[in-house]
Amino acid sequence: MEQTFTSSATGPGIARGAVAALADEPLDWRFKAAPPGAWGRTTREWLATGPTLSSLGTPLLTLDGAALDHNIRTMAHWCAKAGVALAPHGKTTMAPALWQAQLDAGSHGITLANLPQVWIARAFGVQRVLLANTLLDPAGLAWLAEELAADPDFAFLSWVDSVESVRLMDEALRAAGAERPIEVMVELGGPGGRTGARGVDAAVAVAAAVLRAPTLRLAGVGGYEGALAHDASAEGLAAVRGYLRELGELHGRLAGAYPDGVRPVVSAGGSAYFDLVVEELAKLPEAFVVLRSGAYIAHDDGFYRGISPLARGGGEVPFRGALHGWARVVSRPEPQLALLDAGKRDLPFDEGLPEPQRVRGGAELTGTAARITALNDQHAFLRDAGDLAPIGAVLRLGVSHPCTAFDKWTAIPVLDDANAAEPKVTGLVRTFF
């Protein structure tokens, strides 16, 4: 029996052996986070030597293992309580070991954004993939059809938002001789938003086209509420809520239209508004509600710290920022200007600049006037730290936007506790970008 995205019969979800084998990979200069002392050793062997943070160079990005565990557990618990499934967006980390941790905590599958990301998921045996995008590349669809035919346990669900996309997908899948129909959700968008059919009527027309296409199977509705607002203001929240109600309306309009045996998916939910998603969608009849939050796993000390539902909501345990940059003061050419050896190639800068938090083995910087005012390719400009950040000091930096932090590192050391005086390196997360 071929699996569908909502099937409850599951295999292991991910190829544990392939994930575990990453720790047998030899380390060398290919990994900018791996110091020369690790070269020639596998990750497993290097970790067995008991490395600590101070044995690593700069610039550096680290993950706090305790914060990661906390965030994964907290989100899993929150979704279970809300009665919704979670298919965390894997594009945030592109790290099979972290996907495995999310699946182990009860995630239903992994969401991805494009075909190269699906290749990586399949290389690590991920069995349920939600592609939150429309796949139109004929060669890509041919690959997908072959992959689905070869593995009846592989469940794949993607999006479509126009009658023309349905036509192009169907044409390419017929040409490829696809054996299994591809499950698709109709994507609803919103004015000023990103992809997605504009308005419920347009979306219903797309669904009708899917129902006529023999190579596709209508599996639900969804979209991305995060493109409709960028803050937690009353206006932003109202725009998101209005969109979610339209999505609920679309779900209602399609009741009875699904093929036999399909329990319709209703999916929304990045890391910024998943509370509203649950408020509006969890009550829908017959819906298999899937959240796709990705950034929550690492959270941050910037954009998501400001907007996370668990920070907004009363009485919730908030997520913890798990990502930290570490950079050294290499110059202090003016009394209130210091230059650090981390830049745009090392740390995210698109949703706010890194924030100086403290000096390793030294002063607290949080709450002082010290701030980063610009990044160059390989430098950060630190202002108003005065004597708190002397030449040679290593600073811990909070970062904003996990998605553009992970993608700058092929291997990210995991610390037991980034707040410890001498954090231990307890893992090394491999990413694939």
How far apart (Å, rounded) are the C-alpha atoms in residues 94 and 163?
Answer: 31
Residue 133 in the binding site for a second copy (CB under 8 A)? yes
Residues 277-306 that bind a second copy (CB under 8 A): none
Buried b (16+ CB within 10 A) or exposed e, 164-180: ebbebbbebbeebebeb
H or E segment to which residue 289 belongs:
strand 288-291
Task: Candidates 56-64, 299-307, 317-325, 421-429: pick the segment binding a second copy (CB under 8 A).
Answer: 56-64
Binding mask 92-131 for a second copy (x = CB under 8 A): ---------------------xxxx--xx-xx--------
**Based on CB atoms, which residue is closest to a second copy, 181 or 196?**
196
- Min CB(80)–a second copy separation in Å: 27
Residues 414-433 that bind a second copy (CB under 8 A): 432-433
Per DSSP, the three-state class of 282 is: coil
Residue 271 in the binding site for a second copy (CB under 8 A)? no
Residue 140 in the binding site for a second copy (CB under 8 A)? yes
Structure tokens at 200: 């419920």
Residue 355 in the binding site for a second copy (CB under 8 A)? no
How far apart (Å, rounded) are the C-alpha atoms in residues 219 and 265?
Answer: 6
The partner residues of 329 in beta bridges, in order of sequence, read 340
Structure tokens at 187: 């994507």
Task: Candidates 40-48, 209-217, 354-362, 402-410: pick the segment binding a second copy (CB under 8 A).
Answer: 402-410
How far apart (Å, rounded) are the C-alpha atoms in residues 322 and 65?
Answer: 7
Residues 58-87 that bind a second copy (CB under 8 A): 58-59
With a CB cutoff of 8 Å and minimum separation 6, the contacts of 416 are 65, 66, 423, 424, 426
Residue 162 in the binding site for a second copy (CB under 8 A)? yes
- Min CB(56)–a second copy separation in Å: 9
How far apart (Å, rounded) are the C-alpha atoms in residues 346 and 361?
Answer: 22
Cis bond leading into 390, ω under 30°? Answer: no
C-alpha distances (whole Å) from 287 to each of 177, 210, 220, 281 are 32, 19, 8, 8
Residues 192-251 that bind a second copy (CB under 8 A): 193-198, 227
- Min CB(256)–a second copy separation in Å: 26
Residue 28 in the binding site for a second copy (CB under 8 A)? yes
**Based on CB atoms, which residue is closest to a second copy, 114 or 426?**
114
Answer whether 415's CB lies under 8 Å from 377's CB: no
Answer whether 123's CB lies under 8 Å from 14's CB: no
Size of the site for a second copy (CB under 8 A): 67
Residue 165 in the binding site for a second copy (CB under 8 A)? yes
- Min CB(314)–a second copy separation in Å: 30
With a CB cutoff of 8 Å and minimum separation 6, the contacts of 426 are 47, 65, 414, 415, 416
Q: Which residues bind a second copy (CB under 8 A)?
A: 28-30, 32, 35-36, 55, 57-59, 91, 113-116, 119-120, 122-123, 133-137, 139-140, 143, 161-162, 164-165, 168, 189, 193-198, 227, 328, 330-334, 339, 341, 344-345, 349-350, 376-379, 381, 390-392, 403-404, 407-408, 410, 432-433
